[in-house]
Amino acid sequence: MKKRIKLTDLDCAACAAKMEEAIRKIPGVNSATVSFLTQKLTLDADESRFDEIVKQAAAVCKKIEPDCRLNP
Amino acid sequence: MNHKQKRMLLRICVSAVLLVLLQFIPTTGFFKLLLYLIPYAVVGGDILWKAVRNLAHGQVFDENFLMCVATVGAFWTGEYPEAAAVMLFYQVGELFQSYAVGRSRKSISDLMDIRPDSANLEENGEMRQVDPEEVQVGDIIVVRPGEKIPLDGIVTDGSSSVNTSALTGESLPREVGTGDEVVSGCVNLNGLLRVRVSRPFEESTVSKILELVENSAAKKAKAENFITRFARYYTPAVVGGALLLAVLPPLFFHGGWNDWIQRALIFLVISCPCALVISIPLSFFGGIGGASRRGILVKGGNYLEALARAEIVVFDKTGTLTKGTFRVTAVHPEQISEQKLLDLAALAESYSEHPISRSLKEACKKEPERSEVSDVQEIAGQGVRVKIGGKSVSVGNAKLMEQEGVHGRECELTGTIVHVAVDGTYMGHIVISDEVREDAPEAIAALKQLGVRSSVMLTGDAKAVGEDVAARLGIDEVHAELLPAGKVEQVERLLGQKTGRGKLVFVGDGINDAPVLSRADIGIAMGGLGSDAAIEAADVVLMDDHPSKIADAIRISRRTLLIARQNIVFALGVKFIVLTLGALGFANMWEAVFADVGVSVLAILNASRALKMKE
């Protein structure tokens, strides 16, 4: 399943790259891109565990940039 | 500026005033340190807090943390004013950067401002405003002058001119009336239109385009991926360099601790790859945005990058270089006038609905008097034989003439030749051919000028027709009488002919050429307005029917790449120069701050040029 998720308060481009890399490492993620300019995460992941994976992605983002939030 | 940015600006001002005042207060030692910590804390308190928080999360190479180490280090070595000022300038740079990025984001979203907010749904003679997503296929919506057409549909009532520039870049309005198709995203200029909706909102042209442009950010160009990879190694490498610089010379070469620590701190200030990480994707996004403003939709940074290296451009003929509609292009009468010959042919063909007879009717510009025609005999694959005013009239190809025992004159022109004979006497012939698009010769010439090595045309049409069109347009190579599979074969062969990093571009109208579009390095589909197949299959979609947009796309691509390269060279160049000078002891903290945030800001400003494409 593929979904675009808006990211609020994504203020640092280097962090966006780090988030992208970290989210790709979550098990069940087929592909992920974080666009700093559109402030969006495009996530393609295992459908049966999608919600759980989004939660993990949110945690990863919080770790890298504490202000940044996912709005699924 | 948003609220967050305004507060930052206030903090910067307060801190700057304090810092200037401190220059006039003569203090020394511990008291001086305390005084300088005030402006430092005012402007950089949040950075310190973030650094601690991120360190707890294990983010060692975090920008905030490195900045804190650099400034705290400067306090440690006694450079109080420098420490406070570096933090101040860092924040000024960050503020400016966030403002510039915000501006770019906004101008990109303005470009994409084609999403309609509401639709006027008409039900039982009453009109109410609803969300476009609620409207269903078959519903009637009303579009008033000045409003955006919210959904694709067919005009059932009214006429108006619509502005398609947001989709096609074409500034000339298009006239529409009852029965015409209208696409969402266009602006209704003057008349009231009633439209029967033909597609739900999620499948409308506007939704498709928006999705395509938003998705394009996910397909990154090689240059973008390079920067991301580079950034991963750059920061650790510079921080490692700083450590060595601080420790090795004092330990082994009798260097002064203070001096070498100060040099190491300069490294930390320049350790963020921000300038590159922001400006390169911004250049590509700007390029894609600028292209879409001109009616060229590029599905990803990778395709935009590849376009710059177009080496072989392969065209499909019908519908791409030609209009795909047939028109009378020459009339060669014998004994009678041109108009007479046309009238006669149109009249004889008046009962037929064949494209040829339609183009004859169009050419003689008046409705034929069908009542004059009798005894209509259609001869399949040859033409018609009718009686007009007691005379036997035959209209058709050379085979029909043979049957009539008439010698049809051969024509030097290519196309479909329609001969006319009356009572066994030859009256002349009419040439009907597909029209070449107005800007096709210009399109081919522009490609040559851009250094495209060869242009190739593939067509299923007759050899003579193909060669004629190719010669008129200045196309280098033509392959005619091809079946769809033959087109794929030709493209495969041409792919083998290109050199090194050159790219093969295939341009088609999106109908029947999906396999070729996907086989080529870059598939360009023409006339994307309303055609799902084209939008799906291609990598680049031209929203209108102008092949000259291909050259525009290549130009935009090259310009975007140039801007991206300028940024890479400039940002890396300045950083390496300052790193070297810093290591040798010639650069100070001030220069380091410029190399970090100053370069970032300049690179962002440069990247935002990619959005603004000259005509």
Residue B202 DSSP one-character state: G
* CA–CA dist B488, B519 (Å, integer): 8
* CA–CA dist B265, B246 (Å, integer): 8
Best probe of the B interface among A35, A61, A67, by most B CBs < 10 A, is: A35
**Per-residue pLDDT at B391 exceeds 70:** yes
Best-predicted range by mean pLDDT (B113-117, B380-384, B581-585): B581-585
Three-class DSSP category at B350: coil
For B211, the closest chain A residue by CA position comes to A4
* CA–CA dist B274, B573 (Å, integer): 14
What average pLDDT does chain B have? 84
| Alpha-carbon Rg for chain A in angstroms | 11
Q: Are B493 and B456 in contact (CB under 8 A)?
A: no
- B281 vs A contacts (CB less than 8 Å): 13, 35-37
- pLDDT at position B552 is 92
Backbone angles phi, psi at B136, to 5 degrees: -110, 160
Write the CA distances from B53 to A41, B42, B43, B64, integer angstroms. 24, 18, 18, 10
- pLDDT at position B613 is 62
- pLDDT at position B493 is 92
Distance of CA B205 to the CA centre of its chain: 16
Q: Which residues are paired to B243 by β-bridges? A: none
**Per-residue pLDDT at B366 exceeds 80:** no
Q: Is B163 or B216 the better-scoring residue by pLDDT?
A: B163
- pLDDT at position A17 is 81
Q: Do B425 and B451 belong together in one domain? A: no
Three-class DSSP category at B85: helix
- Give the pLDDT mean for B514-540: 80
* CB nearest to A35's CB, from B50, B57, B217: B217
- B60 vs A contacts (CB less than 8 Å): none
Tell whether B206 is covered by a domain.
Answer: no
Burial B240-257 (b: 16+ CB within 10 A, else e): ebbeebbeebbeeeebee
- pLDDT at position B406 is 83
- pLDDT at position B168 is 77
A64, two tokens: 């890298």
Band of pLDDT at residue B258, cut at 50, 70 and 90: confident
- pLDDT at position B504 is 94
Q: Are B83 and B74 in contact (CB under 8 A)?
A: yes
Q: Do B157 and B256 belong together in one domain? A: no
Best-predicted range by mean pLDDT (A7-11, A66-70, B148-152): B148-152
**CATH code, B385:** 3.40.1110.10
**Per-residue pLDDT at B324 exceeds 90:** no
- pLDDT at position A13 is 75
Amino acid residing at B321: L
Tell whether B98 lies on the interface with A, counting CB pairs under 8 A. Answer: yes
> B462: domain range?
309-321+437-543
| CB–CB contacts below 8 A, A to B | 62
- Give the pLDDT mean for B118-144: 88
- pLDDT at position B314 is 94
To the nearest whole percent, how much of chain B has pLDDT over 70? Answer: 97
DSSP A40-55: EEEEEE-STTHHHHHH
A16-22 contact pairs (CB < 8 A, 24+): A16/B277, A17/B228, A17/B231, A17/B232, A17/B277, A18/A64, A19/A60, A19/A61, A19/A64, A19/A65, A19/A68, A20/B228, A21/B232, A22/A60, A22/A63, A22/A64
Q: Do B396 and B538 belong together in one domain? A: no
Report how many domains make up chain B.
4
Q: Which residues contact B125 (CB under 8 A, 6 or more apart)?
A: none
DSSP B549-604: HHHHHHHHHHHHHHHHHHHHHHHHHHHHHHHHHHHHT---HHHHHIIIIIHHHHHH
**CATH code, B531:** 3.40.50.1000
**Per-residue pLDDT at B384 exceeds 80:** yes
- pLDDT at position A72 is 67
A31 CA: distance to closest CA in chain B (Å):
10
- Residue B157 annotated to the active site: no
- B274 vs A contacts (CB less than 8 Å): 12-14
Tell whether B28 is covered by a domain.
Answer: yes
* CB nearest to B228's CB, from A4, A17, A42: A17
Which tens digits make up the pLDDT trace of A4-52? 888 887 777 777 888 888 898 888 888 888 888 778 888 888 888 888 8
Q: Do B331 and B458 belong together in one domain? A: no
Band of pLDDT at residue B369, cut at 50, 70 and 90: confident
Which tens digits make up the pLDDT trace of B219-253? 888 888 888 888 888 888 888 888 888 888 878 88
- Give the pLDDT mean for B380-385: 80
Which tens digits make up the pLDDT trace of B294-322? 888 888 889 999 999 999 999 988 778 88
* CA–CA dist B420, B407 (Å, integer): 11
- pLDDT at position B374 is 82
Tell whether B334 is covered by a domain.
Answer: yes
* CA–CA dist B543, B318 (Å, integer): 17
**Per-residue pLDDT at B346 exceeds 70:** yes
A33 CA: distance to closest CA in chain B (Å):
6
Q: Do B23 and B98 belong together in one domain? A: yes
- A21 vs B contacts (CB less than 8 Å): 232
Tell whether B93 is covered by a domain.
Answer: yes
Query: Which ranges constitute the DSSP H helices of B59-158?
Result: 63-76, 80-111
Tell whether B383 lies on the interface with A, counting CB pairs under 8 A. Answer: no
Tell whether B589 is covered by a domain.
Answer: yes
To the nearest whole percent, how much of chain B has pLDDT over 90? Answer: 14
- pLDDT at position B614 is 57
- A36 vs B contacts (CB less than 8 Å): 101, 277-278, 281
Query: Which ranges constitute the DSSP H helices of B217-256?
Result: 222-252
Q: Which residues contact A5 (CB under 8 A, 6 or more apart)?
A: A40, A41, A42, A43, A54, A57, A70, A71, A72
Q: Do B58 and B104 belong together in one domain? A: yes
Report the CATH fold assignment for A2-71: Alpha-Beta Plaits (3.30.70)
- pLDDT at position B562 is 93
- pLDDT at position B507 is 92
B13, two tokens: 């001002």
B565, two tokens: 């390269």
Q: Is B269 or B169 the better-scoring residue by pLDDT?
A: B269
* CB nearest to B231's CB, from A17, A39, A40: A17
* pTM score: 0.79
- The 3-state DSSP composition of chain A as helix, strand, coil percent (nearest 5) reads 40, 30, 30
Q: Do B446 and B421 belong together in one domain? A: no
Catalytic-role residue among B316, B434, B461, B545: B316
A14 CA: distance to closest CA in chain B (Å):
6
B391-396 and B540-542 beta bridge pairing: unpaired
Best probe of the A interface among B227, B278, B280, B597, by most A CBs < 10 A, is: B278
- Give the pLDDT mean for B485-501: 88
- Give the pLDDT mean for B18-32: 82
* CA–CA dist B449, B331 (Å, integer): 36
Tell whether A38 lies on the interface with B, counting CB pairs under 8 A. Answer: yes
**Per-residue pLDDT at B530 exceeds 60:** no
A14, B272: Cβ pair inside 8 Å?
yes
Best probe of the B interface among A21, A36, A37, A64, by most B CBs < 10 A, is: A37
Q: Do B431 and B442 belong together in one domain? A: no
